[in-house]
Amino acid sequence: MSKPKIAVIFYSTYGTNHAIAEAAAKAAEAAGAEVRLFRVAETAPAAAVNGQPAWKAQADKTAAIPVVTPDDMVWADGYFISAPTRYGVSASQLRAFIDTLGPVWQKGGLTNKAITATTSAGNPHGGQEATILSLYTTAMHWGAIIVAPGYTDDAISAAGGNPYGYSAKAGEFDDKGRAAVAHQARRLVEMAKKLVA
């Protein structure tokens, strides 16, 4: 059986979603997938990024990671997406990338791909569930197959109990979170394997 191809795609302003993506990539690879880690292009003005030392430091830290393209979406059999919550939806940088996918979507290039999503916000009720659900709404338009973690492992409840996808408080991605993300990534690989069998 060929390895499923998993694209781990993240946008991270200060580092939380980057850490989640790295943990997911490691777990997916250990589960038998061919994994590629991608970042979403920054769309904020350089002055805004450079004006905040923590934001600039994160941008510099991830500069060598390839920027995701529509071709990468076609390559993958499954997507693990991690991006921060902004007003109850994902960060505009991720939405801007998604808005470039129309030509691929129109050709059926996103159909029957497995997808799962994670997020972070500054407080526990900052819109994490709405963010993940909005990404899944997009996935439904693509004809993708949503792979939510549900309550399929004790790690989910231990990390806060979000059945839609792991969500972190910004800056507080801990060992319980890593265990939940690893389970979610393994589950994505398991479902992607079935889709490509």
**Separation between Cα atoms, residue 60 and residue 194, nearest integer Å:** 38
The predicted structure's pLDDT at residue 125: 84
SS3 label, residue 85: strand
CB-CB contact of 41 with 63 (8 Å): no
The span from the CA of 140 to the CA of 117, in Å, is 13
- Which pTM does this prediction carry? 0.97
Give the pLDDT band of residue 178 (cuts 50, 70, 90).
Answer: very high
What is the per-residue pLDDT across 114-125, written as a single tens digit (0 to 9) for each? 999 999 999 888
Structural contact between residues 6 and 76, judged by C-beta atoms closer than 8 angstroms: yes
> pLDDT (tens digit, 9 = 90+) per residue, 79-89?
999 999 999 99
Averaged pLDDT, 26-41: 98
Instruction: Please report which confidence band the pLDDT of residue 1 belongs to, taking 50, 70 and 90 as the band edges.
Output: low
Q: What six digits make up the tokens of 80?
A: 């693990």
Residue 112, pLDDT score: 97
Q: What is the spatial distance between Cα 188 and Cα 26, in angstroms, rounded to a whole number?
A: 13
Cα–Cα distance for residue pair 110/154, rounded to 1 Å: 31
Domains for the chain: give ranges and CATH numbers: 5-196 (3.40.50.360)
